[in-house]
Amino acid sequence: MPKSPMRRKKDAGYTTPSERKTTAAALPSRWTAPVMVALFVIGLAWIVLWYIAGTDVPGMRDWGVWNLVIGFGFIFGGLMVATRWR
């Protein structure tokens, strides 16, 4: 009895960038990395400024420990943007 033809499985190997089908929503913006770095630097600068001159800056003195929350908030925002960077 003859053997029936086998179905070929799709090769899950390497595909060139021109073969890939991507949408505009899947591609990250060219501003992703600069925004990520800026958020990291702003958060770090906020925390360092609060530790060094926190009592001399009028607004920072009133916020107290909330300055840490603000600084880490910027850093956390940078981490969230970092998940979109490829």
DSSP class of residue 58?
Answer: H
- Please report the pLDDT score of residue 29 as a whole number: 79
- The pLDDT, as a whole number, for residue 11 is 62
CA pair distance 72, 69, nearest whole angstrom: 5
In angstroms, the CA 54 to CA 8 distance is 68
Q: How far apart are CA 47 and CA 65, in angstroms?
A: 10
**Confidence at residue 70, expressed as pLDDT on a 0 to 100 scale:** 94
Mean pLDDT by 10 residues, the chain (86 residues): 72 68 64 93 94 81 87 96 80
d(CA 55, CA 67) in angstroms, rounded, equals: 12
Distance of alpha carbon 50 from alpha carbon 6, whole angstroms: 69
* CB-CB contact of 67 with 47 (8 Å): yes
